[in-house]
Structure 1
Amino acid sequence: MNLPDGFTHNAPAALPLEVVTRAGYADWHSAQPAPVQLWADAQGFDGSAGTALVLPAADGDIAGAVLGVEDLLDPAAYGHAPFALPARDWSLSTSLDPAQRAALELGWGLGSYRFTRYKAPLRAPAQLLVATADDETFGLLAACTRVRDMVNTPTEDMGPDHLEAIAREIGARHGAQVEAIAGDALLERNFPAIHAVGRASHRAPRLIALHWGDESHPQLVLVGKGVCFDSGGLDIKPADGMRNMKKDMGGAAHAIALAELVMARGLPVRLSLLVAAVENSIGPDAFRPGEVIATRAGISVEIDNTDAEGRVVLCDALAHAGELSPDLIIDFATLTGAARIALGPDLPALFANDDAVAQAWLDAGNTHRDPLWRMPLWRPYLRYLTSNIADIANSGSKMAGAVNAALYLERFVPAGTSWAHLDVYAWNDAARPGRPAGGEALGLRSAYAMLKARYPG
């Protein structure tokens, strides 16, 4: 396979790279020659997390380097390495177990990432020598960078038609069937809510459906919110709230990347990927506050706020997902600012109607250092979605916004169907080592780990 940025198979002059924790620093220090001890002391290096120390050779060149990390199993612990070290070839000289080595390689790849579609990077990352490319580790890296690339791409190059093209390309590569129901065909095929939200845009709204796998395997349905730009509609967002709304298709990016990973790794499932792809625009045909719209499930929805559009497009996709007799439905959506207020940008909010599914995902998050936090489906709060003229309102209260949105979605999931919903930010507001500003995959690796355990090969 072609190696991503930051890796090499051929590095005869690779420099030795050691890894040390602060807890193990004293042992490492005492094992070094006196000049190295003096050099480390002079630099104030103590193995603290996120640090790196280049070791000098007698001839003035570089003899090697040492990384300070905190958690050897956390990919983020290594994210600083590719740009903290000189852009040379490096070979790991510290003995790590397979899980730690996988974390290093994944973290190195995530730390090497730069979005280069429109701007060349200032420098190349340091290169890590890998004897063999572990398929699963590099598959996870590809999935995470897929999300980053998609979310970082402006809407002019990542509209509903582009999401469809990506799904078709992935589907063709893995032998999947892909269909897109677009424009007025959404009305003919009974997806009226998706149509209502996207009808004002010059780019047709659509439901993108990918199907793959053996009919005898359990049905897994992944659903993604693909609002490629969210102006807020007639309830228009202020400028600062609209600035980064190219990322409102982050849920679709997660669902697409996870579907690609499931197919590439050959999980024994019958996979369906459903992406509701729209642009929430302002125009003569924009849906309006106070309108009552139809949905695929036959549940009428009063539009309290056109800026609560993600749940409206998702409700048709979830209703269709339920028609497929699924073993499990998972949806990903950049759904509410309330989730970010509650949990911050790094911790996605998990809602689930199945305790076993929720616990399995939480456990996978802890094991793989890709955490999320479970929030309650507190059904008494359905009172906040009461409509006087329709079955349900799409919004209505500033109280418990993330919970209300999840409760709205749950209304469209058939009773008895296992379902999990991840309200994910999909974004880094500021650059940190291994986490450049812009699009981010959150909860994706743990979702895959959970599915791998649920559907063993």
Structure 2
Amino acid sequence: MTLPLGFTSSDADALPLALVGRVGFNAWRDALTPAAAAWAQAQGFDGSAGSVLVLPGEHGELAGAALGIGDALDPYSYGHAPFALPARSWRLQGEHDAAIRDALRLGWGLGSYRFSRYKTPSRAPALLHTDAAADDEVFALLAASVRVRDLVNTPTEHMGPDELEAVSREIAQRFGADIEVIAGDALIAQNFPAIHAVGRASHRAPRLIALRWGDESHPHIAIVGKGVCFDTGGLDLKPADGMRWMKKDMGGAAHAIALAELIMARKLPLRITMLVPAVENAVGPDAFRPGEVIATRQGISVEIDNTDAEGRVILCDALTYAGEQSPELLLDFATLTGAARIALGPDLPALYSNQDEIANQWLDAGAHQRDQVWRMPLWRPYLRYLTSHIADIANGGPSKMAGSVTAALYLERFVPADLAWAHLDVYSWNDADRPGRPAGGEAQGLRAVYAMLKARAAA
């Protein structure tokens, strides 16, 4: 198998790369030759996180380098290396714990990433020598993150409902999973009216993608991802700046697909059902309208307060269907609210759960994996903000208060009360380039939830 971008199995001509932090810097400097120590001082290198020092040889050639790092277990501590170092091969210098070597490899891979479907990168990343097999777990985690990034970065013209289905079919075929797709008017016939209502105005048929894999004797996990491949806002049209990056509104689906693929690739002893309602929220003669009352699979009537709160409308049918499969745990991912970004910023996904145990497991895994999420409250008195006078519930309301909380409360109405459930409101995006985090699509909470599920499977 081919190694990921940024790696090489050849040690030929690889130069030594030292990992240096502020703690331990003096000992590292004191071990240098006097000339190298003077060079480091002249460059102002002190091991600060995100810094790089290239060391010259006696004749001006490259002799090695030092990478300034912060938290040695945080993959993003190494994300700057592939493009800060000269584009040649490097090998890790010294003895390091396996956890540090894994963090280095993962961070190196994340930092090597560039979305190159339409534009050739200006340079290749530096290469890190590795003895690891191409299919080891670190590289599987990297592949899952890259899957999310690639899906989110691809423009809607090439990543609509059809293409999400095609990706899911390819993955299902590769791992021997079953796949079922209910599309167009078949959604009405098979009682998925809310998915149909949101997607019916587009020239691309709405659909529900269902992938099933695993042994019947293993714990059953349902994974749901919001697949709004483009969101105009519908008749409650977004302004231009709000619509500009709405190709990313299928970020929840990207996370669900990547997680399902990762579980299958690592052969976790789980049984999974992955559900992706895939639609385009378009403007057209058949677009659903503010004030309409939409039927749902669960029989709860929904008054449409705002057509730009469409993600929760398609998710309610998918969540209901997931509950019908009687899993022991239901997880959903969605780029659901701007309110979550206002509350927590772009880097911290908002986690909601109806069980403390599940929330704590995800939080603990996030801290350990350096893939943090932040728990938010399911404060049920705020359901008053979703009151409808003509339907069971509204998909929004006039108040701007607690927008992320009310969205989660809306979803909870469609989850069986006795089913363990967690919802992650993800941004799925980097607004600007940062080391290891190039501008564009981003996986968030994915490594953490995989670690949580792996631990549960082993229990």
Deviation string, structure 1 residues 254-305 (Cα, Å, up to 9, x no partner):
0000000001111111100000100000000000000001000000000000
**Ranges in structure 1 where 5+ consecutive residues have no aligned partner:** none
Matched residue, 1:70: 70
- Structure 1 CA distance, aligned partners of 2:266 and 2:190? 33
Secondary structure at the counterpart of residue 455 of structure 1: helix
Secondary structure of the 1:312 match is: helix
The equivalent of 1:406 in structure 2 is 408
Structure 2 residue identity aligned to 1:378: W
Pairwise CA distance, 1:116: 0.1
Find the aligned partners of 1:355 and 1:56 in 2 and give their Cα distance: 54
Structure 1 residue 94 displacement after superposition: 2.6
Q: Note the alpha carbon deviations across 1:305-329, whole angstroms, 9 max, x for none.
A: 0000000000000000000011000
Match of 2:105 in 1: 105
Confirm whether residue 174 of structure 1 aligns to residue 190 of structure 2.
no
Percent of residue pairs bearing the same amino acid type? 73
The 5-angstrom pairing of residues 29-428 of structure 1 reads 29-133=29-133, 135-396=136-397, 397-428=399-430
Distance (whole Å) between structure 1 residues aligned to residue 408 and residue 95 of structure 2: 45
State the shift of 1:11 in Å. Answer: 3.1
Report Cα offsets for 1:410-441 as digits up to 9, x if no partner: 00001110000000000000100110000000
For 1:63, what is the secondary structure of its paired residue?
Answer: strand
Amino acid in the other structure paired with 2:110: L
Helix, strand or coil: the match of 1:220? strand
- 1:368 is displaced (CA, Å) by 0.6
- For residues 389 and 440 of structure 1, the distance between their equivalents in structure 2, rounded to whole angstroms, comes to 40
Match of 1:451 among 439, 442, 453: 453
What one-letter code is carried by the residue in structure 1 that aligns with 2:440? Answer: G
1:323 maps to a residue whose letter is E
Structure-1 separation of matches of 2:327 and 2:61: 60
Q: Would you say how many aligned residue pairs link Structure 1 and Structure 2?
A: 457
Distance in 1 of aligned mates of 2:329 and 2:287:
34
**Aligned-partner Cα distance in 1 for 2:120–2:96:** 34
Q: How far apart, in 2, do the equivalents of 1:444 and 1:96 lie?
A: 26
Amino acid paired to 1:395: G
TM-score, normalised to structure 1's length? 0.99
The one-letter code sitting in structure 1 at the alignment partner of 2:122 is L
Greater displacement, 421-430 / 9-18: 9-18
TM-score, normalization by structure 2: 0.99
Mapping of residues 433-448 of structure 1, within 5 Å: 433-448=435-450
Tell me, what secondary structure is at the counterpart of 2:226?
strand
> Which whole-Å deviations, capped at 9, do the CAs of 1:151-210 have from their partners, x for residues lacking one?
000000000000000000000000000111000000001000000000000000000000
Give unmatched runs, 5+ long, in structure 2. none
Q: Secondary structure at the match of 1:329?
A: strand
